[in-house]
Amino acid sequence: MTTAFVPGMLPEEYESLRRTVAAFTDEEVAPVSAELDARHEFPYELVAKMGDMGLFGLPFPEEYGGMGGDYFALCLALEEIARENQSLAITLEAGVSLGAMPIHLFGTEEQKRELLPTVIDGRGLAAFGLTEPEAGSDAGGTKTRARLEDGEWVIDGAKAFITNSGTDITRFVTATAVTGTRTGRDGTQKPEISTIIVPNGTPGFTPEPAYDKLGWNSSDTHPLTFDGVRVPEANLLGERGRGYANFLRILDEGRVAIAALSVGAAQGCVDASVKYAKERKAFGKPIGDYQGVSFKIARMEARVAAARAAYYAAASKMVAGEPFKKEASIAKLIASDAAMDNARDATQVHGGYGFMNEYLVARHYRDSKILEIGEGTSEVQLMLIARELGL
């Protein structure tokens, strides 16, 4: 039977972690977040500190340098960090669930021992190369190709919107590529998609100039080019032809993590709005005394409670090893909507100040939209939920 995680009733080891990360967020992340965002500066120092705290190693076994925890512990950390800085939270989320987790789940023992310690100490990052210029939600439309030649994979193609792919501490990218064809259940030929590890600095592998983004300004995001890239045949990650299926599993887990990040963003909007509504006066009294404001904030809090319960439920099943695909999609859908809705309402509560970038709610307004797009759009989540219902 699944042991359900319940908001407000966490076991002490989880609550202790949550408090520790909350204190780190309030004391070290919050004071520098506006400046990092304004300068579009990657937070190397904060990433290193999170590494020292063991956050990048939370769900990994101690034998590889991890903390021996689980995915729910990572979600709690993401929620607390995202209250103040979504860019930093997505750096952690992508570094763990998209960068290191594929190695942990599908790598050989040699790959795990060689690569995991380099990316779970906060001194290195890995990236997840799935999305392409013409293959986003339709990830099966991969155009990148890889062929075996003299004991090496030769890779040609391009990837788009890849997080953590161009930092000074990026160690490698795991990239999907078509490595041949296979016969589908309907008798037609379909692309065989595999996953290959490409170390940073490999000739022909180029992180192109960073994107000029609407939000997540201190997160690292690049298009990637593969032009005759050669890596050893042993750099195949997992079984040949299972790359697409394996990355779908990674995305299921990642959706729970994105839901947690979204809850943190939504909670940050509530906290900022409550504080502002108590301090800001209009017509002789705090604006929080007016129902037009207080009811708006109350609805924001209700969204947070519902979204947190949804991701806790999904995480409970995931950690217990039970099927959680539907619950992950529900959590991601509800939580990303809550983040965007709360950001809009928080900006309204703050009035003109909410339109100023130095205010937290303005950053959340810009940052939260991508939560309805990345790691599966809201429309994809609805499709997956309907499919799980047999529709």
43 three-class SS: coil
Question: What separation in angstroms does the CA of 207 have from each of 7, 32, 228?
Answer: 41, 27, 14
Q: Are 255 and 328 in contact (CB under 8 A)?
A: yes
350's enclosing H/E stretch is helix 325-350
- Encode 268-319 in three state secondary structure: HHHHHHHHHHHHCEECCEEHHHCHHHHHHHHHHHHHHHHHHHHHHHHHHHHH
Question: CA 358 to CA 50: how far, in whole Å?
Answer: 24
375 belongs to the catalytic site: yes
**Which two tokens mark 36?**
């990092």
Candidates 233, 375, 379, 388; catalytic one = 375
101 three-class SS: helix
Query: Which residues of 184-245 form beta strands (DSSP E)?
Result: 189-199, 205-207, 221-232
Question: Catalytic site residues?
Answer: 375
